[in-house]
Amino acid sequence: MSTYIEQHQERFLSELLEWLRIPSVSADPKFHQDVLRAADYLKMRLEEAGLENVELCPTAGNPIVYGEKLIDPSLPTVLVYGHYDVQPADPYELWDSPPFEPVIKNEKIYARGACDDKGQVYMHVKAFELMQRSQGGVPCNVKIMIEGEEEVGSSNLALFVRANKEKLKADVILISDTGILSNDQPSIEVGLRGLSYHEVEVTGPNRDLHSGLYGGAVPNPINILCKMIASLHDENNDITIPGFYDNVAVLSAEERAELNRVPHSDEEFKRSIGLKDIYGEQGYTTVERIGIRPTLDVNGIWGGYTGEGAKTVIASKAYAKISMRLVPNQTSDEITQLFQQHFERIAPPSVTVKVTPHHGGEPVVTPTDSVAYRAAAKALETTFGKKPIPTRGGGSIPIVAMFKTELGLDSVLLGFGLDSDAIHSPNEHYGVFNFLKGIETIPHFFQNYVAASRS
Amino acid sequence: MSTYIEQHQERFLSELLEWLRIPSVSADPKFHQDVLRAADYLKMRLEEAGLENVELCPTAGNPIVYGEKLIDPSLPTVLVYGHYDVQPADPYELWDSPPFEPVIKNEKIYARGACDDKGQVYMHVKAFELMQRSQGGVPCNVKIMIEGEEEVGSSNLALFVRANKEKLKADVILISDTGILSNDQPSIEVGLRGLSYHEVEVTGPNRDLHSGLYGGAVPNPINILCKMIASLHDENNDITIPGFYDNVAVLSAEERAELNRVPHSDEEFKRSIGLKDIYGEQGYTTVERIGIRPTLDVNGIWGGYTGEGAKTVIASKAYAKISMRLVPNQTSDEITQLFQQHFERIAPPSVTVKVTPHHGGEPVVTPTDSVAYRAAAKALETTFGKKPIPTRGGGSIPIVAMFKTELGLDSVLLGFGLDSDAIHSPNEHYGVFNFLKGIETIPHFFQNYVAASRS
């Protein structure tokens, strides 16, 4: 670890904790003021670190925090992307310490957003500071663009990017919003799944009914919703929506073998999340199920009486949030339409079904033969002492596809999280090791990238 | 209507409203003090009406309010049963006026418990007062026993009855906790369905997971719960639990024809609750589906993210409340065991399933050829000017079977509610007409019953 990091790590951590204390939950309007406070805080820290022209760019939603350091037009430009908004923290009761009162325990930072993505964004802020103060300045042009709506679909970012192509001109996009295989085995994500997310509502009777007086003679919307959801998978756990797999890229036997070379043990996987047995689409390994196959998961379901004790009610309405992870060459629009049509079609005539699509995102595969990928791989090899493995992760960073389309730029996914960080879950955390290793690795990326660009 | 009722109806209503203001929700511990206040209030009103030896009989749960008027051991004894506890009132936001701030609008009393069962119990208190003050006293011995745990399974009532057989000795039990077909067509319930109620919990991974990082390779407990619930009915809407129908009494063609003679229109039924189409077990009419067939309904379901917006989570756990309405000669114990075994058996090996039975109740058919039934029928004919029709309702009053077993007594179900009263739903109400008609009818029952017992 560099001397600069050793000398300043306490301050780096306390600044991050201060930022994590602001509950910047973008999905819930009641946190709107906090989202704005989190943006202000970031702006201040970017200025402090030496970024110039730092501003809050207004959007129809939450502002985008932008800053830049342009040293020489003949040098390449790296555009750093991240997000300062976080997932909702509920269920709060499952957190061992409150999600917005960050604590460091066992060398881990516990807070909502600790890893996803405030902790990883803050590595860039501090890596920039390090380059400015201890390495004679950044070795190329840097632009930083941190948005506040990633967890709700980044819809305003796309508009912003489209309207600011000149301002955002760069050679590559650098993103830390993914993970590594383990602290002993660095890796770089090269494939990300897309997303199609829906809320569905099933209405039976026009009011809640007594299950004794009506039960048996009315369509219970919960039973029917369950039946509809159950029908979306067949006995092999394949998704039954007609046309769903039509555009799924089929990997060759060699590509699959390559993919399965990633260190993985089903036993360890089961143990790590307390599973009694492996589960998923037949004919695929766990690594393939996560990396190259599309999925359909219910993310939430509710209806009827959910309080203590027993209430003999037949609800008027039942609801679910249903999302599909997409792989190349599915598109979010195509799958959203297929889902909506299918879900409405399978409803029995006695109920009314409403499908409301939320945000989507496109699946993407990033190149492993680019200058930027090699610069990132070499940086990780330097700081971890081990060559990174390219992996195909399951999460969606929809904006990677959008950057490619709108700006023509590839992204490098230089993330430092671990699968065990519990992002989107209670007790989200981020290793202090990972946070500091990120700050150490990022400047190597810049140096490698500039050097390779020159040659 | 009798002069006494005309003179005192304003007071009768205002006393009832005062009682309805107390939120005696037995299912939720936070209302415990209110439950006790509701019992105290009833005790005071029973004493005022002229009942003697009025007491709050302690149980392991909520007290039973008991009072009596014993005038002559040679005369018959009527034991009146009812309950002062009410269903939970949520979802509160669907009420047009707050559930515990009763109001009278369009000749209807709106409040949780207005009909079920405080309103119907209060008819007995006021009918007793009427007999005492304007008819020279009750014509036979009267015992009144009003419990506070009907909505949570009456488990302590059964123990109380078993321990107090001498005190509760009577000739018949009179209960007003059911309804009539309409205000133009009186009816008497003669069949009640039983109940088996369960809470189920499905656990997949041991913590909430990010659906992108894990989706496709882990058992999603919500999807699996939906699949399990869906499998409980086949394509004819028959219940698939092995042995479920083994003990269901099969009615003869004549009995079914008799049953279907009840005035009923599917069009009107659909219109009254906003259904697009009729729904239920194939081969049965709506009246039969409600009256003589067992059912399985999900009364509540929850799991994952249910807030605003989108959260890409795979929940660790999913829950549902599932209940079955039973018909003769199913028993609650038998069905509870069959359900529990079946539900655990159909779980895939990758998840853990927990089934927790709540309260149950036995189905019952009451005789239509008894002295008491005829006394009730004649009373209704007098006050409504029309002979009542015997009906088989769908609701459960589990204690009717218990009274038969423990005390050897039949019950007469002289209820005055309407299907449209929205009991167990938002905007529960009870017609002022029905409330007053009950007060008018009950004394006729006593007179008819005593007269017939003598002859």
Q: What is the mean pLDDT of chain B?
A: 94
Q: Does residue B273 form part of some domain?
A: no
Q: What are phi and psi of B358, to 5 degrees?
A: -95, -150
Cis preceding linkage at B329, omega within 30: yes
Q: Does residue A285 form part of some domain?
A: no
Q: Which pLDDT band, with edges at 50, 70 and 90, does B47 fall under?
A: very high
Q: Which pLDDT band, with edges at 50, 70 and 90, does A227 fall under?
A: very high
CA A37 – CA A43 distance, rounded (Å): 10
Nearest C-alpha in A relative to B88: A311
Nearest C-alpha in B relative to A227: B230
Q: Does residue B256 form part of some domain?
A: no
CB B208 within 8 A of CB B222: no
Rounded to 10°, the helix A118-134/A32-49 angle is 20
Instruction: Return the pLDDT at B316.
Output: 97
β strands within B410-452, DSSP E: 411-413, 429-431
CB B391 within 8 A of CB B419: no
Per residue in B322-341, pLDDT (tens digit) is 999 999 889 999 999 999 99
Number of domains making up chain B: 2
Catalytic residue among A117, A129, A150, A440: A150
Instruction: Return the pLDDT at B347.
Output: 96
- Please name the member of B26, B298, B323 whose beta carbon is closest to the beta carbon of A226: B298
The residues facing A64 across adjacent strands are A57
pLDDT over 80 at B102, yes or no? yes
Judgement on whether residues A19 and A164 belong to the same structural domain of the protein: yes
Q: Where are the alpha helices (DSSP H) in A1-144?
A: 3-20, 32-49, 118-134
Averaged over B60-77, what is the pLDDT?
97
In 3D space, the residue among B377, B367, B369, B370 whose CA is nearest the CA of residue B187 turns out to be B377
Per residue in A278-336, pLDDT (tens digit) is 999 999 999 999 988 999 999 999 999 998 888 889 999 999 999 999 998 899 999 99
pLDDT over 70 at B238, yes or no? yes
Exposed/middle/buried for residue B231 (C-beta within 10 Å: 0-12, 13-18, 19+)? middle
Judgement on whether residues A50 and A134 belong to the same structural domain of the protein: yes
Q: Which two tokens stand for residue A299?
A: 């993310």
- Confirm or reject contact between A69 and chain B (CB < 8 A): no
- Please name the member of B281, B312, B396 whose beta carbon is closest to the beta carbon of A299: B312
Q: Please report the number of interchain residue pairs, chain A to chain B, with beta-carbon separation below 8 angstroms.
A: 371
Catalytic residue among A34, A68, A85, A421: A85
Judgement on whether residues A375 and A356 belong to the same structural domain of the protein: no
CA B297 – CA A402 distance, rounded (Å): 45
- Asked if A300 lies within 8 A of B304 by C-beta distance, the reply is yes
Chain A: closest CA distance from residue B96 (Å): 13
Instruction: Return the pLDDT at B400.
Output: 87
How, if at all, do strands B77-83 and B141-147 pair? parallel
A358 torsion bin: left (phi>0), alpha (psi -120 to 50), beta (else)? beta
Q: Which pLDDT band, with edges at 50, 70 and 90, does A448 fall under?
A: very high
Give the DSSP letter of residue B300: E
Per residue in B254-284, pLDDT (tens digit) is 888 878 888 889 999 999 999 999 999 999 9
In 3D space, the residue among A241, A210, A228, A234 whose CA is nearest the CA of residue A301 turns out to be A228
Averaged over B384-402, what is the pLDDT?
81
Exposed/middle/buried for residue A231 (C-beta within 10 Å: 0-12, 13-18, 19+)? middle
Q: Does residue B129 form part of some domain?
A: yes
- Confirm or reject contact between B230 and chain A (CB < 8 A): yes
Judgement on whether residues A344 and A397 belong to the same structural domain of the protein: no
- Confirm or reject contact between B207 and chain A (CB < 8 A): yes
Chain B residues touching residue A217 (CB < 8 angstroms): 269, 278-280, 286, 289-290
Q: Does residue A254 form part of some domain?
A: no
CA A53 – CA A50 distance, rounded (Å): 10
Q: Cβ of B120: how many Cβ atoms within 10 Å?
A: 26
ipTM value, please give it.
0.74
CB A42 within 8 A of CB A16: no
Residues 254-313 of B with CB under 8 A from A: 269, 273-281, 286, 289-290, 293-313
Q: Which pLDDT band, with edges at 50, 70 and 90, does B9 fall under?
A: very high
Exposed/middle/buried for residue A104 (C-beta within 10 Å: 0-12, 13-18, 19+)? middle
CA-atom Rg of chain B in angstroms? 23
Chain B residues touching residue A179 (CB < 8 angstroms): 213
CATH of the domain at B322: 3.30.70.360
Q: Does residue B257 form part of some domain?
A: no
Residue B448's alpha-carbon distances to B173, B312, B382, B437, B454, in angstroms, are: 15, 66, 11, 17, 10
Give the DSSP letter of residue A369: S
Chain B residues touching residue A230 (CB < 8 angstroms): 223, 226-227, 229-231
Judgement on whether residues B52 and B70 belong to the same structural domain of the protein: yes
- Asked if A307 lies within 8 A of B222 by C-beta distance, the reply is no
- Asked if B207 lies within 8 A of A427 by C-beta distance, the reply is yes
- Asked if A301 lies within 8 A of B304 by C-beta distance, the reply is yes
CA A329 – CA B283 distance, rounded (Å): 48
pLDDT over 70 at B394, yes or no? no
pTM for this entry: 0.75
Judgement on whether residues B343 and B387 belong to the same structural domain of the protein: no
Most B CBs within 10 Å, among A248, A262, A285, A321, to test the B interface = A321
Chain B residues touching residue A349 (CB < 8 angstroms): 276-277
- Asked if A230 lies within 8 A of B233 by C-beta distance, the reply is no
The last residue of a domain, from among B302, B333, B361: B361
What is the largest distance, in Å, between two alpha-carbon atoms of chain A? 81
CA B284 – CA B290 distance, rounded (Å): 10
- Asked if A233 lies within 8 A of B223 by C-beta distance, the reply is yes
The set of residues, in sequence order, having a beta carbon less than 8 Å from that of B364 and lying 6+ positions away, is B191, B192, B194, B328, B397, B400, B401, B404
The set of residues, in sequence order, having a beta carbon less than 8 Å from that of B425 and lying 6+ positions away, is A207, A208, A209, A210, A313
Most A CBs within 10 Å, among B321, B344, B352, B419, to test the A interface = B321
Residues 124-183 of A with CB under 8 A from B: 151-153, 179
Judgement on whether residues B39 and B99 belong to the same structural domain of the protein: yes
Chain A residues touching residue B353 (CB < 8 angstroms): none
Q: Does residue B115 form part of some domain?
A: yes
Residues 354-413 of A with CB under 8 A from B: 358-359, 393-396
Instruction: Return the pLDDT at B325.
Output: 93
CA B301 – CA B299 distance, rounded (Å): 7
Judgement on whether residues A222 and A324 belong to the same structural domain of the protein: yes
Q: Which of A227-236, A240-249, B353-362 has the lowest mean pLDDT?
A: B353-362
Nearest C-alpha in B relative to A426: B208
- Please name the member of B216, B229, B289 whose beta carbon is closest to the beta carbon of A281: B216
CB A88 within 8 A of CB A27: yes
Instruction: Return the pLDDT at A394.
Output: 56
The residues facing A397 across adjacent strands are none
CA B391 – CA B437 distance, rounded (Å): 19
Judgement on whether residues A125 and A55 belong to the same structural domain of the protein: yes
- Please name the member of B87, B216, B419 whose beta carbon is closest to the beta carbon of A280: B216
Judgement on whether residues A231 and A128 belong to the same structural domain of the protein: no
Most B CBs within 10 Å, among A262, A287, A301, to test the B interface = A301
The last residue of a domain, from among B361, B390, B410: B361
- Confirm or reject contact between A317 and chain B (CB < 8 A): no
- Please name the member of B227, B301, B349 whose beta carbon is closest to the beta carbon of A222: B301
CATH of the domain at A9: 3.40.630.10
In 3D space, the residue among A65, A81, A152 whose CA is nearest the CA of residue A411 turns out to be A81
The last residue of a domain, from among B312, B342, B361: B361
- Confirm or reject contact between A212 and chain B (CB < 8 A): yes
Residue B260's alpha-carbon distances to B91, B255, B256, B390, B429, in angstroms, are: 35, 9, 6, 11, 28
Percent over 70 (pLDDT), chain B: 98
pLDDT over 80 at B297, yes or no? yes
pLDDT over 90 at B155, yes or no? no
- Asked if B217 lies within 8 A of A352 by C-beta distance, the reply is no
The number of helices, as runs of H, and strands, as runs of E, in chain B is 13, 18
Measure the CA dihedral A90/A92/A94/A99, to 10°: 100
In 3D space, the residue among A322, A357, A359, A311 whose CA is nearest the CA of residue B303 turns out to be A322
In 3D space, the residue among B194, B183, B114 whose CA is nearest the CA of residue B421 turns out to be B114
Judgement on whether residues B236 and B170 belong to the same structural domain of the protein: no
Catalytic residue among B34, B68, B129, B150: B150
Judgement on whether residues B97 and B235 belong to the same structural domain of the protein: no
Instruction: Return the pLDDT at A181.
Output: 86
Catalytic residue among B34, B85, B116, B189: B85
Q: Does residue A282 form part of some domain?
A: no
Residues 40-59 of B with CB under 8 A from A: none
Domain that holds residue A391: 3-192+363-454
Residue B141's alpha-carbon distances to B51, B69, B78, B186, B415, in angstroms, are: 11, 6, 6, 27, 21
- Confirm or reject contact between B90 and chain A (CB < 8 A): yes
Instruction: Return the pLDDT at B345.
Output: 97
Regarding predicted confidence, which is higher, A101 or B255? A101
Chain B: closest CA distance from residue A360 (Å): 10
CA-atom Rg of chain A in angstroms? 23
In 3D space, the residue among B331, B309, B219 whose CA is nearest the CA of residue A273 turns out to be B219
- Judge whether A85 counts as a catalytic residue: yes
CA A376 – CA A159 distance, rounded (Å): 29
CB B176 within 8 A of CB B124: yes
Chain B residues touching residue A199 (CB < 8 angstroms): 310
